[in-house]
Structure 1
Amino acid sequence: MRKKLLLKLVATFVGTVTAMGLVGAPASASPSGGWEGTWTASPQRPGAGFSPNWSVAGFADQTVRQVVRISQGGPSVRVHLTNVYGSAPLAVTGATVGRAGTGAAATSVRPLTFGHSRSVVIPVGHEISSDAAPLPVRPLESLTVTIYFATQTGAVTYHADAEATSFRAPGDHRSDAAGTAFTETSTSWYALAGVDVADFSPRRDVVVTFGDSITDGAFAGVDQNARYPDELAERLHGRLGVLNAGIGGNRVLNDSQCLGDKATTRFRPDALAQPHLRTVIVLEGINDIGASEFNDFDCFKPNPRVAAAELIAGHRELIRQAHTAGVRIVGATLLPYKGAVYYTPAGDQVRTDLNNWIRTSGEYDAVIDFDRAMAAPTDANAMNPTYDSGDHLHPNAPGYHAMAEAINLHTL
């Protein structure tokens, strides 16, 4: 009884603080306050993506239920919704958070409020935080975030490769426990930017994994939670939060309408703005190298040829931004990719030169050598077949597990 009362008091206090000043502000509005990230997805412009999705058409009199697995627990949660890349104000009629069941089912469903209102309109270019929802959560628990859009939204900000099933139903089903109304599915996330847990400790204990599709978890398996950041979160089991800021196809030096802003631009909002941030792991650059050798993919345009010196300059900019923010930054070497669709010997030399700089320059605070951990025993330029998803670029689930095992937790 006393525990339930304490949880209620904490949730009430956090909700009051949120309503007084944090609603409508991004997560970075309280870098050392009462919130800490437990899950995130980097926002992307609406588009065709890697598989059919609902981002361009948007929603009208429809409910979207999305499932996310958090990394650490807390006595209450809040949710971040985003309209960063929307073309019109985004009207959210109502939203809930609950514990995920089988498929689209949910339990312990709680209404989300925004400044104590059940509905909210998010301006173009903005993100908004909910009030606290009194839902105690555990590390590695899966939650549902359900949003009802009563009126036509237009195109919505999304995250293309969720490697997780999202569900859609006609009408208002935001509070449903059963998942029977949700008859349509997608493997993207929509208007959902993050989940925080209440934490009044002054400690910085959040790790952001920042990168491209290998961080995002391509080919990890839908609904398997087998991305390398997921595997890292399992090793840590709530001692540190692990947030995945990967975007498939992302590059260090060039923006893309399909594949996110370049790393040096999105580093601040996607990584450094996370509350209680302790460490960022950077794994970026293979798409810069590959795109410059590959002309058959419009999303890689522009695709100028890049030199190792240019990529090193980009990484130095990420290091500068992190250190200016007082954040530890760990560099990860690029994985072998011989045999991938955009592999060339010239490109592999750029990768080798960049990896040698990451290992030996001392400019990163620490190094994770994914290159050596993932290399084939008989060919250092190719991925170990045991870990290869089949495209010679992305790991499979055992490969992502091996990546997480290669991380010395003391470097975090």
Structure 2
Amino acid sequence: MNHTTINKPDTWCSMWGNAVSIAEHRPESYAKDITLRYPVYAPFDGTSLRFTFDNYCGSEPVSITKATVSVADFNTNSDSAPKINLSCPQKKSTTTQITFWGNPSVTLDAHKRIVSDEVSFQVQAGQTLCVNLYFADFTLMQSAVLITGPLSKGFFSLGDQTLTEDLPLDTSKTTSWFYFLSNIDILTSSDNHAVICYGDSITAQAWPDELTLRLRREGRKHTSIIRRAASGTRILRQYDCITYDSYGLKGSNRFLHEIPAAGADTIIIQQGINDIIHPVGTDINPFRPMSDLPTAEELIDGLKWYTDQAHSLGLSVYIGTLLPIEGWRTYAPFREELKNKVNEWIRQADGFEGCIDFDLAVRDSTNPAAFKAGYDSGDHLHPSSAGYKAMADAVSLRFL
């Protein structure tokens, strides 16, 4: 009997991604003659890459003078996050120019995004790539997102360092702000797929990275975790003042811009706590009126709208419960009651594919309003490292 091996065709799949939000307004919001270097974990083998650069939240055009991609020159093959020193070394022999309609530079108009040319580049699963962006002229550094986690670390350096193997220590610094680079697609096996994690600061912090590391440890090689999260964001409201504009856009202004991703078939949504804890009254804060406080029904309607939009894009929807908040500086029993009503609806999983009970994974068994011992970062809102690992462990692998 003849046995014929059928090779599945390659397809584009997102292998890395972030939301696009608004960098905090500072007097020094412009940069010049600066290189950004972002180490990016590659979950899949692939033969080509394409890069999305997004100025969605910028108020004026931005010119990228030069962009390159290289293989990182440090150990990335263990099941833990790589240790990256300030030089963030890359292998110069692998450095490849990123182009735009054949040109080495590109201008992003305000509120617009651009996808690069397809870049022929051999990628091995488990590698870390270094993406370099150089800005020669004064650039408004406004379209950005603040991201942290074991796989989320950036660097900036003075001068054009796009081709440099090691960043110069005296003129380089780490950053947790990711500017303009919002997505990387890889031409890879059609067996591979992407899962989107959508939310606020809790998702902008470590649990998506911990989920990626969990997949590595367990040998599950066909799923990328794409993070679309921005700190301070709410489902129903946004701030239109420079005091809080870094808290980003409301759901109706974010969701449909962020969610489409090549190869994605699933989305995990974990958002709503900021809608509950932010309003305090104009006598305390002029930008946070109590009229911003939603009802449980309004928050649930917002989650239903997310679900409808995601389903229209062919995505399966899993919604995560809201985490404990007892001890947070605006904590009050009425906020606890509101949170619990929303969680009760999420646990019913009516109209979407399933609930991920993050709250149950991190709360104290004797006092469910509070974090379990060791799972609180200390602010009574964001989990500790152990808490984020528990969140990652709470995600069922049946769709990963």
Aligned twin of 1:340 = 328
Flag the 1:205–1:348 CA change in 2: closer, same or farther, 3 A: same
Which residue of 351, 356, 367 corresponds with 2:339?
351
Aligned twin of 1:112 = 98
Instruction: Say yes or no: does 1:207 pair with 2:179.
Output: no
One-letter amino acid matched to 2:355: V
Structure 2 length as normaliser, TM-score? Answer: 0.84
One-letter amino acid matched to 2:258: D
Aligned twin of 2:235 = 252
Which region of structure 1 is more displaced relative to structure 2, 306-315 or 81-90? 81-90
Structure 1: distance between partners of 2:247 and 2:10: 32
> Following superposition of structure 1 onto structure 2, how do residues 246-395 of structure 1 map, counting pairs within 5 Å?
246-256=229-239, 257-271=245-259, 273-293=260-280, 304-395=292-383
Aligned twin of 1:29 = none
Structure 1: distance between partners of 2:37 and 2:187: 23
The answer as to whether partners of 2:24 and 2:142 remain within 8 angstroms in 1 is no
One-letter amino acid matched to 2:236: L
One-letter amino acid matched to 2:89: A
Structure 1: distance between partners of 2:193 and 2:359: 27
Give the secondary-structure state (helix, strand or coil) at the position aligned to 1:37. strand
Which residue of 20, 23, 31 corresponds with 1:59?
31
Aligned twin of 1:69 = 41
One-letter amino acid matched to 1:42: A
Which residue of 183, 195, 198 corresponds with 1:194?
183
Structure 1: distance between partners of 2:195 and 2:237: 25
Aligned twin of 2:394 = 406
Aligned twin of 2:208 = 229
Structure 1 length as normaliser, TM-score? Answer: 0.82
Aligned twin of 2:71 = 99
Which region of structure 1 is more displaced relative to structure 2, 139-148 or 371-380? 139-148
Instruction: Say yes or no: does 1:151 pair with 2:137.
Output: yes
Give the secondary-structure state (helix, strand or coil) at the position aligned to 1:106. coil
Instruction: Say yes or no: does 1:81 pair with 2:53.
Output: yes
Give the secondary-structure state (helix, strand or coil) at the position aligned to 2:342. helix
Aligned twin of 1:185 = 174
How far is the alpha carbon of 1:299 from its aligned partner? 7.1
Structure 2: distance between partners of 1:302 and 1:177: 53
How far is the alpha carbon of 1:348 from its aligned partner? 0.6
Structure 1: distance between partners of 2:290 and 2:111: 24
Instruction: Say yes or no: does 1:171 pair with 2:150.
Output: no
Structure 2: distance between partners of 1:390 and 1:138: 39
Which residue of 205, 225, 229 corresponds with 1:242?
225
How far is the alpha carbon of 1:306 from its aligned partner? 1.4
The answer as to whether partners of 1:293 and 1:343 remain within 8 angstroms in 2 is no
Structure 1: distance between partners of 2:378 and 2:58: 35
> Following superposition of structure 1 onto structure 2, how do residues 120-159 of structure 1 map, counting pairs within 5 Å?
120-159=106-145
The answer as to whether partners of 2:281 and 2:289 remain within 8 angstroms in 1 is no
Structure 2: distance between partners of 1:299 and 1:160: 22
Give the secondary-structure state (helix, strand or coil) at the position aligned to 1:253. coil
Structure 1: distance between partners of 2:227 and 2:164: 28
Aligned length: 365
Structure 2: distance between partners of 1:83 and 1:345: 40
Gaps of 5+ in 1: 1-31, 218-226
The answer as to whether partners of 1:376 and 1:383 remain within 8 angstroms in 2 is yes
The answer as to whether partners of 2:44 and 2:188 remain within 8 angstroms in 1 is no
How far is the alpha carbon of 1:393 from its aligned partner? 1.1
Cα RMSD between the aligned structures? 2.4
Instruction: Say yes or no: does 1:36 pair with 2:13.
Output: yes
Structure 2: distance between partners of 1:301 and 1:142: 45
How far is the alpha carbon of 1:361 from its aligned partner? 4.9
Structure 2: distance between partners of 1:97 and 1:382: 44
How far is the alpha carbon of 1:177 from its aligned partner? 0.6
How far is the alpha carbon of 1:204 from its aligned partner? 7.2
Flag the 1:385–1:358 CA change in 2: closer, same or farther, 3 A: same
One-letter amino acid matched to 2:37: R
Structure 2: distance between partners of 1:292 and 1:71: 40
Which region of structure 1 is more displaced relative to structure 2, 69-78 or 83-92? 69-78
Gaps of 5+ in 2: 1-8, 75-83, 240-244
Flag the 1:36–1:62 CA change in 2: closer, same or farther, 3 A: same
Structure 1: distance between partners of 2:387 and 2:109: 41
One-letter amino acid matched to 2:354: A
